[in-house]
């Protein structure tokens, strides 16, 4: 038996803009994603035989072909013609359906882990092609770091990450379907869009004020309107000293970025009383 364990990191969106809708039904995006320390642990075991098994410690997470990690393993085996029984164990820390790429990052970790386990039969380019077949966030999760994501998520340009900041993350106790959010997005409802170049400059300088003044997540026009608690969480974080408070991805997770640890700790304690899915992270 061969086995490997990997950390599968969550992401937040430091900006999210939608440029239009493509003929294939997907949306053309321009966004900045950053990997954060919050992560799942993905253990992969390969033995003689065939089939894919998923085990997960979190109730409600599918353990069949609906799971993105399963899809990653399936695509890898098909692409490489490798015959093996694959057992995947997911120790989840990233909340599900939260706008932090929890499923996408598990899939990326499976592809990365299987490629290493079987002595790298696929190039990075081939892995990224498989990533995109699973979901738009998977290529970024495979690459990690901080990047501008364009197209439908397949065009990635690495940039220096935001550093030396404290992040408080809070996910309300419900899930949001990414597909539903995009289906209900209407460009005419957008009144504030990010200045992506200004956001990139602010990230490079560690300028949280500049980041806050120039960024936006246009999907808030869908999710925040439907779920006012997102607005409530954003306002709490701002009032407690966050330089920037915004929804990540399609939501419903809200994050606040602080330059003062004590303020971040106070905000974290407040959010812990409101939702069990609260985290305090240092980047």
**Active-site amino acid positions:** 11, 137
Q: Give 28's strand partners.
A: 20
* Residue 263: HSE in the Cβ half-sphere, 13 Å Cα cutoff: 16
Distances from the Cα of 275 to the Cα of 60, 188, 235, angstroms: 18, 33, 15
- Selection from 45, 123, 49 nearest residue 80 by Cα: 123
Check if the beta carbon of residue 275 is closer than 8 Å to that of residue 165. no
Q: What is the rounded CA–CA span in Å between residue 140 and residue 128?
A: 9
Check if the beta carbon of residue 186 is closer than 8 Å to that of residue 27. no
- φ/ψ (deg, to 5) at 138: -65, -40
- Which pair of structure tokens corresponds to residue 142? 């495979």
Check if the beta carbon of residue 110 is closer than 8 Å to that of residue 44. yes
- Which pair of structure tokens corresponds to residue 63? 């353990």
| Residues written for the chain | 283
**Centroid of chain to Cα 55:** 21
Q: What is the rounded CA–CA span in Å between residue 232 and residue 240?
A: 12
Q: What DSSP character marks residue 162? A: P
């Amino acid at each position: 038996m061969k086995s490997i364990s990997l950390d599968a990191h969550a992401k937040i969106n430091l900006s999210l803009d939608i440029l239009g809708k493509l003929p294939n039904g997907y949306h053309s995006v321009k966004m900045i994603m950053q990997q954060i320390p919050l992560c799942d642990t993905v253990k992969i075991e390969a033995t003689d035989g065939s089939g894919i098994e998923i085990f997960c410690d979190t109730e409600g997470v599918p353990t069949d072909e609906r799971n993105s990690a399963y899809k990653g393993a399936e695509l890898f085996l098909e692409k490489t013609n490798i015959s093996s029984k694959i057992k995947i164990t997911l120790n989840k820390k990233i909340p599900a359906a939260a706008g932090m790429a929890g499923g996408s990052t598990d899939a990326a970790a499976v592809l990365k882990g299987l490629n290493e386990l079987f002595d790298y039969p696929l190039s990075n380019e081939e892995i990224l092609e498989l990533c995109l077949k699973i979901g738009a966030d998977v290529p970024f999760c495979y690459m990690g770091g901080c990047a501008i994501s364009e197209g439908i998520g397949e065009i990635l340009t690495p940039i220096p990450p935001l550093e030396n900041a404290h992040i408080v993350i809070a996910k309300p106790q419900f899930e949001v379907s990414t597909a539903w959010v995009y289906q209900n997005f209407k460009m005419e409802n957008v009144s504030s869009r990010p200045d992506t170049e200004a956001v990139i400059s602010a990230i490079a300088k560690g300028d949280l004020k500049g980041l806050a003044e120039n960024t936006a997540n246009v999907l808030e026009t869908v999710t925040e309107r439907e779920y006012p608690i997102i607005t409530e969480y954003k306002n709490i974080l701002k009032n407690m000293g966050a330089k920037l408070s915004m929804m990540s991805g399609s939501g419903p997770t809200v994050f606040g970025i602080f330059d003062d640890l004590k303020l971040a700790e106070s905000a974290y304690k407040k959010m812990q009383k409101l939702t069990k899915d609260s985290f305090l992270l240092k980047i």
